[in-house]
Amino acid sequence: MSFGPDFKDKELFLLPELKSESRLQLFTLPNPSNIKSKETLLLFQTTDSVSSKDIIYRLQDHSFSKPCARKNSEELAKGTYHYTNESQPIKSMFLLNEDDRKDGYVLESSTFKHATIYDLTYSLIGFYFKNSVTEDEKDYIDCDIKSEESSESDRYLTLRDYHDLLTDSHDKNWAFVSMESLETALVKICDTIEEAGDSYYKIRLHKIIGFLSSKVLKIVDNFPKSLNLPIDYPEDIKYCGKVVLACNLMISLIPKEAYRKLRQSSENTGSTSEDTDILENISISGCFDKYNKYKKEIAAQVAEKELLTQTAMNVGLGSKSGKQAIKKGIRKVTVAKKKVAVGKGAIDGFFKR
């Protein structure tokens, strides 16, 4: 590896170990969520160096020293990060040749692209729900309303027919996807029949829900530590909360109607945790119901406590803020002196003198 003088205007890509040094063909496909505000996927296909199978990779941007969106305001207030007029972090990257430490370069940017394996099944799900289009992720909030009825085609198609269908009616860049990669994705969500030595495929809704449910449970088993649930929640409620949050994490990859179907799914969550034996047969929809019901009960209890506290404070303030009691004067009691009776005796005449 060597960095020439013209490297300044280049982009940095972190790629997997490739079988050959042939040029990579980059192509795009619609975002599988069918959310208009989301960008298309930047993909490339290569052959795995170990299994020799075709694999689809997705290229995504990563920027050093840039907080996640939900902490943006907090970090800006602290002044931890500094940005250019184009909202880019003022950072640089040092690139070094491990074999020759003198061979290096300072890249005047903190942004690079990295490749992660992409499951093409999500794009097939996006195609299946192609009529479920939304403006933004927040439109998923009203998913409690009745689900739309989706009609399934009765047609079974060959691999070649599916490839042509996707290229003609979904996106022309499906042409860059190999038959092998397409078949790997189709078998995950299709019913398959064999006839005269040929395989025929049909995407089925229950297979889609089964596929998505397996992904949800995988997230639950490897639940992100950054997503904390209240420590005082009972263990069964915590598990249901993990299922709910795992489903919500899927929003960026699936259309709204697919998310709605997943929420309403009676698919067993298959909990194997020792602390959640009572959830052994609970469904995904059951987890949503149980978790939301508990949150409403907690919210009602908190509201009741706040009301009682406010009432008590008002009573206390009311007794002090009323009119001051008028102090009544204390009447002094005087003892009446008895008058000496006037007599006519000799002694009385003496005192009158």
- What residue ranges do the domains of the chain occupy? 1-118, 209-297
251 has a pLDDT exceeding 80? yes
For residue 193, the model assigns a pLDDT of: 94
Q: Are 248 and 288 in contact (CB under 8 A)?
A: no
Using an 8 Å Cβ cutoff, are 64 and 80 in contact? no
pLDDT tens digit sequence for 298-312: 888 888 888 888 888
The answer to whether residue 253 scores a pLDDT higher than 70 is yes
Query: Which pLDDT band, with edges at 50, 70 and 90, does 196 fall under?
Result: confident
Q: What's the mean pLDDT in 37-48?
A: 92
The answer on pLDDT for 16 being more than 70 is yes
Read out DSSP for 290-340? HHHHHHHHHHHHHHHHHHHHHHHHHHHHHHHHSPPPPPPPPPPP-PPPPPP
- The tokens describing 12, both together, are 């940095």
As a whole number of angstroms, the distance between CA 168 and CA 38 comes to 22
27 and 43 Cβ atoms separated by less than 8 Å = yes
Condensed to tens digits (0 to 9), the pLDDT of residues 113-159 reads 889 999 999 999 999 999 999 998 888 877 655 555 555 677 899 99
Q: Could you give the C-alpha distances from 297 to 242, 284, 292, 303, in angstroms and in order? A: 18, 20, 9, 10
pLDDT recorded at residue 321? 55
pTM: 0.75
| Packing angle, helices 179-189 and 159-169, rounded to 10 | 100
